[in-house]
């Protein structure tokens, strides 16, 4: 086989440092497309980006040549720098150290897109911590509560 092809969908989630609700609606309106552009630049076709004041969700196709960890580093670094330059009130902005990355089947992609688009409504009933614990349990990811949050 002379050509390397893949289609691996990833649902990526990470929060602001200490889940600080510092991403206003206006910032989100610009940040989400910026993150999408960063994903596209690195060979990860963006499908959906969304979130609320303290975290973001992304659904994208994983690059054939980069790892999830490399993509996370590039997205966090680029968006953090962009946020600091965009708004002086965010001059000390940081993302949390960790992240959650979950595989998504093509047949389940629409459900995840809807889930990401409905984050605002979803978080009227549930905190980020509650949501994240549920995602970890749904995807059967073993975790130690002492090391999940920063």
| Section 53-71 average pLDDT | 97
pLDDT in tens, 92-145: 999 999 999 999 999 999 999 999 999 999 899 999 999 999 999 999 999 988
Q: Is 149 within a domain?
A: no
Q: What is the count of structural domains for the chain?
A: 1
pLDDT number for residue 43: 96
Q: What is the separation, in whole angstroms, between the first and last Cα of the chain? A: 45
In a domain, 147, yes or no: no
Q: Provide mean pLDDT across the span 39-68.
A: 97
CATH number of the domain at 72, please.
3.30.70.1290
- Kindly report the backbone phi and psi dihedral angles of residue 16, in degrees, each rounded to the nearest multiple of 5, phi listed first: -70, 160
Distance CA 58, CA 147 (A): 22
Q: Per the domain annotation, does 1 fall within a domain?
A: no
Q: What is the pLDDT of residue 4?
A: 85
Its domain, for residue 87, covers: 9-141
Residues 6+ positions from 28 with CB-CB distance below 8 Å: 51, 52, 53
pLDDT at 94: 97
The pLDDT mean for the chain works out to 95
Which percentage of the chain shows pLDDT scores above 90?
90
Angle, helices 25-41 vs 68-86, to 10°: value is 140
Question: How many H-runs (helices) and E-runs (strands) does the chain carry?
Answer: 6, 4
């Amino acid at each position: 086989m002379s050509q390397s092809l893949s289609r691996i969908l990833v649902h990526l989630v990470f929060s602001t440092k200490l889940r600080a609700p510092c991403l206003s609606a206006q910032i989100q309106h610009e940040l989400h497309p910026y993150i999408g552009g960063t994903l596209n630049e690195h060979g990860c076709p963006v499908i959906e980006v969304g979130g609320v004041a303290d975290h973001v969700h992304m659904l994208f196709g994983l690059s054939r040549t980069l790892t999830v960890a490399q993509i996370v580093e590039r997205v966090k670094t680029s968006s953090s720098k962009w946020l600091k330059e965009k708004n002086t009130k965010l001059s000390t902005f940081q993302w949390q150290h960790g992240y959650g990355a979950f595989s998504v089947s093509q047949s389940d992609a629409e459900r995840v897109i809807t889930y990401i688009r409905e984050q605002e409504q979803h978080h009227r009933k549930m905190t980020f911590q509650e949501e994240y614990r549920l995602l970890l349990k749904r995807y059967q990811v073993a975790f130690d509560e002492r090391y999940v949050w920063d």
